[in-house]
Copies of this chain bind each other. A is one copy, B any other.
């Protein structure tokens, strides 16, 4: 039997697990709730227990696996296999994840941050079509990203490569939680889109259902903005276009800098689908050097929630 690999996607709410072939086919999937009590001290033991329990269920042994890969929030030291500052897990101090999981399972362990791991998943088995140069942008509560060039993840000197959410797209724009102004995240995350809508509502004079909701002080979501736009609300379309302008500017400059074969849009906001993608692409083409506009494609993510476990698994495979 060819050896298998385990991928783990550690999040603030659930821990997702999968057993995959080395060619990236998912054979088993399961998940457990993330127990963040007691400063997150139960998380790693419960991951070990869940792996060992499932291996016995499937009558598999440690020797049947080439490795375990995991994506995690927080700052990762890939060599030491440690994590620090993962606040949604209550991990404030250094966690020796690799040492504990290797000891508890007897399987070699590899780790990287969750945005990088999702990027690897989409690059390998998703919209990236296993091309060597792929950039992944995740549009969720925040905006993150991961960059694969020459078939390798880029980390940078301090592990901050791929901080796409903090590309400055509007030098005089909104303050970001990072301390500077006009970050992509401030205008294209789920909350950023609502922020753009509120700001634009102040100056919009026409009639619009979306504007009425905002003026009434109702709490709206980025999904409401896209739904209203798709239903023909003129104001909502102006908001979507502004958001896509900023995404197209950032994507254009990523393209001019890296010329990847694709820039893949993922995360909750990307559920707006082709409606979003085509508008981002339009602005992207205005902001790119011709050769880049012709060769770098804007795509939608394809793997959804599986990107994490698939990309995590790929950390443990020498492709």
- Partner-binding segment picked from A35-43, A165-173, A186-194, A214-222: A165-173
A256-300, CB under 8 A of B: which get 1 and which 0? 111111000000000000000000000000111111101110000
A170 to chain B, nearest CB (A): 10
**Which B residues are in CB contact (< 8 Å) with A258?**
147, 154, 156, 161, 257
A160 interface neighbour in B160, B179, B291, Cβ under 8 Å: B291
**Which B residues are in CB contact (< 8 Å) with A102?**
none
Q: Report A60-79 residues with CB < 8 Å from chain B CB.
A: none
A254 within 8 A of B: yes
A143-167, CB under 8 A of B: which get 1 and which 0? 0000101101011111111111011
Q: Report A64-103 residues with CB < 8 Å from chain B CB.
A: none
Tell me, in angstroms, the Cα distance from A21 to B183 when the chains sit together: 46
A249 interface neighbour in B157, B168, B259, B290, Cβ under 8 Å: B168
A241 to chain B, nearest CB (A): 14
Tell me, in angstroms, the Cα distance from A139 to B214 when the chains sit together: 47
A contact residues, total (Cβ < 8 Å): 45
| A253 to chain B: closest residue by CB | B167
Residues of A that sit less than 8 Å from B by CB: 131, 133, 147, 149-150, 152, 154-164, 166-168, 171, 178-180, 183, 249, 252-254, 256-261, 286-292, 294-296
Offer 19 A-B interface pairs, CB within 8 angstroms, sorted by A. Answer: A133-B156, A133-B157, A149-B149, A149-B154, A150-B150, A152-B152, A156-B259, A156-B260, A156-B295, A159-B259, A160-B289, A160-B292, A161-B257, A161-B259, A164-B257, A166-B288, A167-B253, A180-B289, A253-B253
